[in-house]
Amino acid sequence: MRYPTPSSTKPSESSRATRHPSRSPKANAAPSKGIHARKHVLKTSKTRGASHYDPKPPCITVHGLPGYTGGLLPPDVVDPRPPALPLDGFECIRTLGDGAYGHVLLVRVRDQPNLGKLARPGSLFAVKVLSKERTKITHQKYPADTHAERMHLSALPWSPWVNGVIGVFKDELNLYLMLEFIPSGCFYDVIQTRGPFDAATARFYFANIVSGLYFLRGEGIIHRDLKPANILVRSDGYLAIADFGYARLDKIDNGPITDWLMIGTPLYMAPETLCYQHMTGFSVDWWAAGVTLYEMLTKRTPFFGTDENKIYKRVSSGKYKWPKGLRVSASLKSIVAGLLTTTAEDRLGIKGSVLDHPWLDNIDFDKLDAGNYMAPWIPEAPAPTQTWLNKGLPPPHHIPGLKICLPAVHREWDDRLPRKQLPNVADQLCTAGRMAQK
């Protein structure tokens, strides 16, 4: 069994007390938002560097046991922690969706004897199933993208702004990436069903995205595919960034410039990813954040086109219009214009801090990090273990290392009958008119 390295237990500047200043003895200090962001980036970067390159890690105490060095306990000390659950300690109860690299399943901790005190039977997690065969084929074409999500998420400390990884498993056919289960769906669905938002609602959600991006920036990670569909809504209404399949480390594995061309989703791609422009790394995420903010307010993207070529031309030009009749304040127009600047070096977030913009003056980011704001909308998602299955469970031989729990009869997925089509109102009116004439 592998034990955590001292970097995961060593006290650092990005500790819980720092993330929640209200619980810290230094809570009375009130630095400006810009200073807060810069300190977060500098302290986190310094901590990560020290934890990886310190040749002689100090002797610290873990679970009350002294002498923990080099990631291993002394041979005469028994580890008090229960062993980690194996893959067969979980059971698949639902299919959540299908992605480019495999299935996403909902799994539950099995109720079995000899479970540790920390194990909670019935706990739910999301699992990405990555086929080894498909992964090999993808690795030949895109070697940097094959294990990007697993590598970057495994190195991240826990944060409420990121859909974190729980563990990684494998069997003879697949790799299994276990993540936090966030049952309330993606932010794109919220925009489509509840949007467009007013300025106050958009400000709250955008502040969530900004906090997530600054956290990733402090860890040196560039998402490169930020969009509402890759942002999940937690049960408390706050947002969490997910899907790190295209992520890169800043200034470490940026690779050649060709590795950054045409990466992402066309409607949210920055101009520098469409041509040989100087790359600044984090600028692509700030551009996508600006597109998302515009979409919150208008329920459409600023550079929409009927085909990809038209989208690319509009993105390269950087020209967009606000809908007629929409009242938008000058400060809101200013922050959107700053984020949608076509030159990467001049974009807000690269040139100047997003947190210092006047449109965000009403947001206390320390209070936001502590979760002390009431979200504009609290999801009321039904329990996934009680609802009807809208997708079939995978065959057992496709996931040999994972148990499958069949649902009750009334919850089984059934595709024998075609989906009911809603009647066309216009056809009904025409039929009624003909009947009236007769």
Task: Kindly list the domain boundaries of the chain, sorted by start residue.
Answer: 6-56, 87-180, 198-369
Mean pLDDT to the nearest integer, 299-307: 95
Between strands 65-68 and 60-62, the pairing is antiparallel
Tens digits of residue pLDDT in 254-276: 455 556 788 889 999 999 998 86
Other Cβ atoms closer than 10 A to 13: 16
- Tens of pLDDT, residues 377-395: 999 878 888 888 989 999 9
- % the chain with pLDDT above 90: 50
Crossing angle of helices 283-298 and 199-218, in 10° steps, is 160
Q: How many residues does the chain have?
A: 438
Q: Is 128 labelled a binding residue?
A: yes
Looking at every residue in the chain, the average pLDDT score rounds to: 79
Domain 198-369 has CATH 3.40.50.10440: no
Strands 403-404 and 90-98 come out as parallel
* Radius of gyration of the chain, Cα coordinates, nearest whole angstrom: 24
Reported as a single tens digit per residue, the pLDDT across 11-38 is 344 433 444 444 444 444 444 444 444 4
Contacts of 114 (CB under 8 A, 6+ apart): none
- Catalytic hit among 145, 225, 243, 285: 225
pLDDT: which is higher, 338 or 390? 338
Domain 87-180, what fold? Phosphorylase Kinase; domain 1 (3.30.200)
Q: What is the pLDDT of residue 138?
A: 64
pLDDT tens, 206-231? 999 999 999 999 999 999 999 999 99
How close are the terminal C-alpha atoms of the chain, in Å?
82
Q: Do the strands 221-222 and 248-249 form a parallel or antiparallel pair, or are they unpaired?
A: antiparallel
Residue 225 annotated among the catalytic residues of the structure:
yes
Higher per-residue confidence, 79 vs 413: 413
CB burial string 22-59: b at 16+ within 10 A, e below: eeeeeeeeeeebeebbbebeeebbebbeeeeeeeebee
**Residue 236 near residue 375, CB atoms below 8 Å:** yes
Question: Residue range 397-403: average pLDDT?
Answer: 93
Summarize pLDDT for 346-373 with one digit per residue, the tens: 999 999 999 999 999 999 999 999 999 9
* Tokens at 224, concatenated: 């490169």
Q: Read off the pLDDT band of 112 (50, 70, 90).
A: confident
> How confident is the model over 53-90, as pLDDT tens digits?
344 444 444 344 344 444 455 666 666 666 778 899 99
Question: Where does residue 273 rank: exposed (0-12), middle (13-18), buried (19+ CB within 10 A)?
Answer: buried
CA distances to 157, 182, 340 from 164, in Å? 8, 10, 29
* Per-residue tokens: 209: 């995205």
